[in-house]
Chains A and B, each alone.
Chain A
C-alpha cells in the first residue's frame, strides 16, 4: 500500500460518503457543504488521474464560484421558519432509478474498462493550451461568449424580479 493509494482511497471514500450525505441530510446548508467536500475530493482524484489542469479549474470554478452562488441561493430562498423540505413520496422510483443506473453503469464498466490502456503521463497543460487555441478555437470562443451571455442573462433575470 503506497502513500498514493492511501490518498486515492481517502478521496474516493470522501467523495462517495459526501454524496451519501447529500442524500440523507435534510438541511440544505449541510447538503451544500457535503457537495463542497465531494467536489474537493473529486479535484484530488483528478490530480491522481493526471488531470492537474482540470483539478485546478474544478477548485476555482466549483469549489469557489458555484458553491458561493449556491450558498447565496440557499440563504435568499430558505426562510428562517425552519421548515425543511426534503422528504418525498418518490422514494421508490428514485431507488429504482438509482439501482437501474448503477447496475447499468457497472455492467458497462465491467464490460469496457479492461480495454483501456494505461498512459504514461506527460506535460498536459502546455499541450492543452495549444489544442484550445488551434483545434478547438471555435468551441473555446463559443463557450466564452456563452459565459458572457449567461452572466448578463442571470443578472437580468435576478434583477427583473426585483421591480
Chain B
C-alpha cells in the first residue's frame, strides 16, 4: 500500500463515513457533516491528482483465492474521482436546501454518501471484477435513491424497473467479465490491450461489456429506465442520472473498447447515434421539466457512446466531463424551480412546464445558471459542450468517410440531433423563464439562498464555459486531453472545419425555431403543449418503448412464471404425489396379501399349538388334586427309568 492509495482510501471512505455520521447525528447538523466530508474528499482528490500525475499508482491484492484484483490510480481515473467528489459535494450542498423539510433527510444523506462511495470505487477500480462490485453497488444505491419517496405512487415501480433493467444489462456484463477473466487469465483493465485476442470468446465478452455499459448509460434499448428514474429527488437526478452514474457506462466503454472487435464497435457507434436521436426526439414533446432533461441526458449519453464507437474515446471522455457540469447545473436549476413551486404553490404540479413562465423575475441566479448550461448543451461556441460535442461529430465524419457509405447514418443522426437539442432546450428556457406567468396566482418573490443554492449553481455554470478548455473555440486540441491521454495525435482529417460549419448553423437554427414558436410575447395555451398529432404522441411516449416492454416482456415474464408455478402445482407435484399414491395402492395390495396369506399362516400355526395345548390341558385344570396325581405318576416313571439304568 503506497501513499497515494492511503489517500485514495480516505477519499473513498469519507463519503460513506460522512453519510454514517450524518445518520447518527441530528437532522440539522448531519447534512453539513456529510457535505464537509465530501469537501475534504474533493480537496484530497486534487492532492491525489498531483501525486499520481507522473506515475500511475497500482495496488493489487488477492481477493478470492487465485484471483488477484486491484486499484489503479492514473490521470484519467483520478481526474474523474476529483470530478465526482466535487460535483457530489455541490449536490450535497444543494440538497441541504432542497431536502430541508423532508422527514427522511438523514436517510437521504446516508444514501447519497453511499452512492458517492460506490461511484468513486468504480473509478478507482482496475480490475473488471472489482469494477463490477462497485458497479452493482452504484446500481443499488441508485435504486435506493430513486425509491427514496417510496410512498408516492409510481416511485417504487420506477426504482424497481431501473434496477432490473440494469440487472439485465449487468448479467451480460458479468458474463463478459467472466469470459475475459477465464479465457485471458487476467481481468485488469490496464492489461486488456496486451491479451491475446483470438477465440470465440472475445466477441461474446465484448457484447457482454457493451450490454453492461448500455444498461448503465441508458442506451437503446435499455434507456427507458432513466426517464422513469426522475421519480427520485431532483438533486439525485442531477448527481446520479446526469453527472456520474450514467456516465459510468461510457467510462467502461472508453476503458474496454480496446478489446472489442471492429464490427461490435461500429454497432456501438450506430446504437449511440440512434440513442442520441431518439433521446432528443423524445425530449421534444415532454411537458415535465425533468423529463426533458432526462431525455436530453439519454441523448447526450448517446453522443458519448457514439464517440467511443467512432474511435473518439478521448472526445467521449471529454464530453463526459463537460456534460457532468452543464447537466448537473441544469438539473439543479430545475430542482430550484421545483423546490420553489413546492414551497409556495403546493397544490400546483411544480414539474409541469405548462404552469411556469416569467420565472426570471423571481429566480435571477437560477436563470443565469440555466442559460449558461443550456447554451452549453445546445452546443454554441464559447461553451464547453460545443467543444466536446464537435470533437465527437468531427471524428464521426472522419470515421464514416473511412468506413463506407452506410456509416454516414451516424454523423447524419448526430448532426440532426444538434438541431433538435437546441430546439427543445431553447423551448424549455423560453417557456420556463420568460413570457407571462401562466398560473392563476401571482409569483412570490423569494431570495435564493446563497450558500446552498446560488453557489452550486454558479460554480456549475462557470464550469460549463468553454474558456477553461480552449481559448480558441474552434481548435480541437485541448490541454485536458493531452493531460489524460498523453501527447495527442492531431486530427488528420483535412476538413476539420466541416463539423463546426454544420453544427453551429444547426444549433442556431434550432434556437431560432424555438424562439419563433415560443417567443416571450407570444401567448400560447395548454393546447399547444398537449400531445396531439402522431409525432408529438410518439415523442411524448419515447416511441412507446416503455409500454412495449411492459406489455410484451414484463407481462410475458409474469405469465410464464404463473404458468410454471401452475405446472409445479398441477403437474410435477401431482405426478410425484401420484407416484407416492401408487406406493400406497401397492401397499394396500400388500396389506391384502398380508391379511389373507401371511396372517392366516400365522393363525394356523397358532391353531396347531392351541390344539396341542388343549390336549395337554386335559391333564390339568379340572381338579387341583389331579395335578398331584400326574406329578406323582411322572415322578414314578422317572424313578423307574432311573432305576432301570442303575
Among listed A13-21, A33-41, A54-62, A95-103, interface-contacting one = A95-103
How many A-B pairs fall under 8 Å by CB?
Answer: 23
CB pair B639–A104 under 8 Å, yes or no, is: yes
Query: A107 within 8 Å of B by Cβ?
Result: yes
Query: A73 within 8 Å of B by Cβ?
Result: no
Interface of B, helix, strand, loop or mixed by DSSP: helix
Q: Which residue of A lies closest to B646 (CB)?
A: A111
Query: A65 within 8 Å of B by Cβ?
Result: no
Q: Which residue of B lies closest to A97 (CB)?
A: B632
Query: B182 within 8 Å of A by Cβ?
Result: no
CB pair B636–A101 under 8 Å, yes or no, is: yes
Complex interface: chain B residues within 8 A of A94 (CB): 629
CB pair A93–B636 under 8 Å, yes or no, is: no
Query: B626 within 8 Å of A by Cβ?
Result: yes
Question: CA separation between A100 and B640, bound complex, in Å?
Answer: 10
CB pair B625–A90 under 8 Å, yes or no, is: yes
Give the shortest distance, in Å, between B630 (CB) and chain A (any CB): 9
Chain B CB within 10 A, most for which of A88, A94, A100, A101: A100
Chain A CB within 10 A, most for which of B628, B632, B633: B632
Chain B CB within 10 A, most for which of A93, A94, A101, A107: A93
Q: Which of under 10, 10 to 19, 20 to 34, or 35 or more describes the interface residues of A? A: 10 to 19
CB pair B643–A100 under 8 Å, yes or no, is: no
Partner of A90 from B623, B633, B640, B643 at Cβ < 8 Å = B623
Complex interface: chain B residues within 8 A of A96 (CB): 629, 633
CB pair A93–B629 under 8 Å, yes or no, is: yes
Q: Which residue of B lies closest to A90 (CB)?
A: B625
CB pair B632–A100 under 8 Å, yes or no, is: yes
Query: Interface code A103-126, partner B: CB below 8 Å = 1, 0 otherwise?
Result: 010010000000000000000000
Q: Which residue of A lies closest to B625 (CB)?
A: A90
Given contacts A97-B632, A101-B636, contact A107 B643 (CB under 8 A): yes
CB pair B626–A100 under 8 Å, yes or no, is: no
CB pair B640–A97 under 8 Å, yes or no, is: no
Query: Interface code B617-646, partner A: CB below 8 Å = 1, 0 otherwise?
Result: 000000101101100110010011001000
Given contacts A90-B623, A90-B626, contact A101 B643 (CB under 8 A): no
Question: CA separation between A97 and B635, bound complex, in Å?
Answer: 10
Give the shortest distance, in Å, between A97 (CB) and chain B (any CB): 5
Question: CA separation between A94 and B376, bound complex, in Å?
Answer: 139
CB pair A90–B629 under 8 Å, yes or no, is: yes
Question: CA separation between A107 and B643, bound complex, in Å?
Answer: 10
CB pair A97–B639 under 8 Å, yes or no, is: no
Question: CA separation between A104 and B644, bound complex, in Å?
Answer: 12
Question: CA separation between A100 and B635, bound complex, in Å?
Answer: 10
Q: Which residue of A lies closest to B630 (CB)?
A: A93
CB pair B636–A104 under 8 Å, yes or no, is: yes
Question: CA separation between A132 and B433, bound complex, in Å?
Answer: 139
Question: CA separation between A90 and B633, bound complex, in Å?
Answer: 14
Complex interface: chain B residues within 8 A of A104 (CB): 636, 639-640
| CB within 8 Å of A: which B174-205 residues | none
Sampled A-B contacts (20; CB under 8 Å): A88-B625, A90-B623, A90-B626, A90-B629, A93-B626, A93-B629, A96-B629, A96-B633, A97-B628, A97-B632, A97-B633, A100-B632, A100-B633, A100-B636, A101-B632, A101-B636, A104-B636, A104-B639, A104-B640, A107-B643
Q: B-side interface residues toward A, CB under 8 Å?
A: 623, 625-626, 628-629, 632-633, 636, 639-640, 643
Given contacts A100-B636, A104-B639, 6 further A-B contacts (CB under 8 A): A88-B625, A90-B626, A94-B629, A96-B633, A100-B632, A101-B636
Q: A-side interface residues toward B, CB under 8 Å?
A: 88, 90, 93-94, 96-97, 100-101, 104, 107
